[in-house]
């Protein structure tokens, strides 16, 4: 089984100024994106009481960004390492490698942009936490 890095924050360039606004860019051929983007999706109007995500991926890598509002992302690695990330700056993303269980909780104004390394494929998802733990148990 491949070894993946721990989830980590990525700061995208923040170009512009307060008086005219900002733009941030991620390009496949340049940092800070750690993979070629194959799929883009976004979530919005998620009630604050809802916990989304609750899965891991076999192969897919993701970068999650809060382009509006705040998103609390909790990650758990195969070795049991749990980390909590607060995304609230639109130029800061969270890299989530494969084999990492992740959940997200949103502020009522949050819009999450997700950049994924793979097209959607249901077989890539591990949606049962016990299955995730069993799958990666040898690494605990």
CA distance linking residue 81 with residue 25, whole number of Å: 30
CA distance linking residue 71 with residue 86, whole number of Å: 6
CA end-to-end span of the chain: 14
Strand runs labelled E in 1-140: 8-11, 15-17, 21-23, 39-44, 51-57, 62-68, 71-76, 82-87, 92-96, 101-106, 111-116, 125-126
The catalytic site residues sit at 55
Q: What is the DSSP letter of 35?
A: S
């Amino acid at each position: 089984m491949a070894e993946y890095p721990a989830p980590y924050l990525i700061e995208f360039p923040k170009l512009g100024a307060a008086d005219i606004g900002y733009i941030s860019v991620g390009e496949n051929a340049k940092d800070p994106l750690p993979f070629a983007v194959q799929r883009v999706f976004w979530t919005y109007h998620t009630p604050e009481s809802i916990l989304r995500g609750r899965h891991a991926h076999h192969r897919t890598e993701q970068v999650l960004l809060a382009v509006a509002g705040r998103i609390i992302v909790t990650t758990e690695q195969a070795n049991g390492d749990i980390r909590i990330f607060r995304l609230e700056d639109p130029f800061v993303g969270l890299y989530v490698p494969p084999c990492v269980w992740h959940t997200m909780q949103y502020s009522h104004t949050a819009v999450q942009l997700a950049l994924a390394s793979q097209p959607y494929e249901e077989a890539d998802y591990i949606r049962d936490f016990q299955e995730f733990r069993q799958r990666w148990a040898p690494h605990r």
